[in-house]
Structure formats: C-alpha cells, structure tokens
Amino acid sequence: MEDRNHRIEIWLKSKTIDFSSLKTNVRTNIGAEALLLNKKGPKKAVPSSSKGIQTRQEVIARAVKIAAQEGLGALSIGRLAKELRMSKSGLFIHFGSKEALELAVIERAELYFYDHIVVPIEQEGREGIERVWYLCEAWLDLVENEILSGGYFFTGAFFTCAWQGGPIPRQVRQFARDWIDTLAAALKQARRQNEVAETIDAEDTAFELNSMLIGAQWSRLMTHTDHTNARSAILAKLHSVASEQIPGHAFLSVKAWTAYLKRRGR
C-alpha cells in the first residue's frame, strides 16, 4: 500500500496538483478514486467498511472494462448490477449517481495509464530526448498490449464528450491537457539539456507527437498490425528536432536508436 500511495503521489505531482492539499479518508482505500477526485464534481457515496471498499473496487474494475470496449455511454447502474449479480439499490449505495460512477471509472483509467507510462519512466530516471521517446513508446505499448482492452480509453472518451459541459467532459479534457503538458515538459527538459534544438517549440511538437500517436491507434484498429511504422515515424520526428549533440547515425532505425540509448545509459 505504501508503494502504491507513493506512485500515486508521483502522478499527482506530474499533474501539478498540490498533493498536500487533498484530504483523503484512509477507510476508503486511499487510491485513485479518492486522490484524483475532481473537487468540483459530485459527492460520492463511498461505504467505509472493508467489504464495501472491495465491492466498490470490483464494480469500478468491471465498469472500466465495459467503458474501454464500448465507451462511457454503455455504462449503467442496471447493467452493472445485472453483470455483478447485485441489486440496483445495493450498487447505487457505492456511488450515489451514474455521474459519480463515470468519474470513478475515468479516475481508475487514469491510474492504469499513469502506472504503465509515467511510473516506469520516473523509476528508471529517463531524461531529455530519451524521456520523450519512452513516453511515446509506452503509449504505443499501452495500446498494443490492451492495458485498457478494446480501444484506447481516453481517445474514445475525448472524441465523444470533450465538447460537452459538466464534470465528466471537464475531467477528460484535463487528462488530455495533462498528457500534452507531459510531452511538452519532456521536450523542454531535452531542450535545456541541448538535446533538442533551441528553436523548437515544445508545445507544438508535443501536439505533433500526440497526433502521430492517435494516428497510430487508428491504423492499428484498421489493420490489426503492430506499431512498427509509428515508431519509425516518431523517431523521424525526433531526428528533425534533435540538436547536433545527438549523433545522426542513432536515427537510422528504431534498432539503431534503441542501441544508442542503451549505450549512453551505461
């Protein structure tokens, strides 16, 4: 539990949230739902018993699978109650509203994303242009390995509801903004380390990289192939923004790039 809480703290800090200002209830599993709660969202009816906590986690886990495969719109208290063999009233106690359930699902999906992408990069101390590469690489790996089975959860959620008002679209938009900011921050760090050209606009490049990642997802859904071409395209983009400090031969292929990163990490 302590290790998980530490990892959650890393994610919160990466989202520029003041961790110390968040009040949590240790009885409600000091996890994603409590820590990432949008303060402006609806209040949640969270049972305090250990059995209630476990039931809530099971409901959210099942709801995430449904939402990842069919979209947030496919979620309903009635469907979850039927699939989990619970009464509607019994399930309702754990959330209080469908909106609160959807927020909990988004928060859990955020943790899956952060756990697969942000935590390993932080633990391995990736910096500079290497950090930019591994952020993109981990994103592609998240899709290829269907960490959120179906499609890519946040892409679908963003296209479906980002233009709407309310807590759900606001949280989805914030996640998208956080991801772009994460890429931009890595590019700025690489620029400070003279691994990216001084003239490069970090935010513009972050948007370009994100567009390539989204395009790679579309391609995978259409052709059911891996992201070999996407990785080559991302490497070409990094080559176009890299400074002369990075040797040109490192960008000849993904294999050459991986070997270069391995050598410089020794």
If one counts every other C-beta atom within 10 angstroms of the C-beta of residue 48, the result is 10
In the chain, CATH 1.10.10.60 sits at 2-104
Non-local (6+) Cβ contacts of 215 within 8 A are 230
Tokens of 64: 């995430």
More confident residue, 224 or 164: 164
Non-local (6+) Cβ contacts of 26 within 8 A are none
For the segment 85-105, the average pLDDT, to the nearest whole number, is 81
Question: What local confidence, expressed as pLDDT, does residue 187 receive?
Answer: 96
Query: What whole-number distance in Å separates Cα of residue 159 and Cα of residue 72?
Result: 11
Q: Could you name the CATH architecture of 124-264?
A: Orthogonal Bundle (1.10)
Tokens of 83: 């699939």
CA dihedral of 165, 169, 171, 174, whole degrees rounded to 10: -90
> Taking the model in full, what pTM does it have?
0.76
Average pLDDT over all residues of the chain: 77
Q: If you classify domain 2-104 with CATH, what class do you get? A: mainly alpha
Query: pLDDT band at 65, cuts 50/70/90?
Result: confident
In the chain, CATH 1.10.357.10 sits at 124-264
Beta bridge partners of 242: 196
Question: What local confidence, expressed as pLDDT, does residue 49 receive?
Answer: 62
Query: What whole-number distance in Å separates Cα of residue 152 and Cα of residue 146?
Result: 8
> Which of 9-18, 160-169, 196-205 has the highest mean predicted lDDT (pLDDT)?
196-205
Residues 92-120 as b/e (b if ≥16 CB within 10 A, e otherwise) read bbbbeebebbbbbbbbbbbbbbbbbbbbe
Provide the H-helix boundaries in 40-97. Answer: 50-70, 77-83, 88-92
Which one-letter amino acid corresponds to residue 53?
I
Query: pLDDT band at 226, cuts 50/70/90?
Result: low
